[in-house]
Amino acid sequence: MVAQIRPSQLAGWLREHHDRRPLVLDVREPSEMQQAHLAPDGFDLVHIPMATLPARLGELDRRRPVACLCHLGGRSQRVAMYLEQQGFEHVANIVGGIHAWSLECDPSVPLY
């Protein structure tokens, strides 16, 4: 089952998976990344737009914890479910996406 975590809960989720460096998978489009993006802090950040993920799935380690991020949380939920179906062991959806990240964690991240 895909874990549902708020941006403010991400640090705790990262600590739970300290044995393997967690990954935040940003599935937004490149134009969205130009508008607002995260600075990695205790995790690696990888950008793979949702539409290209099936072709690029081999770039990800199935044993590594992955938290999925999009604008509001809908696309990242679908991607998280897809990753789980593909055998990824620890998958989470960041509820509210980068919009919630700006409101809960870092107001310097622009809202769009």
Q: Which residues are catalytic?
A: 70
What is d(CA 7, CA 73) in angstroms, rounded to the nearest whole number? 11
Distance CA 33, CA 104 (A): 19
Amino acid code (one letter) for 108: S
Using the structure block, give the residue that is written with the tokens 């290209």.
52
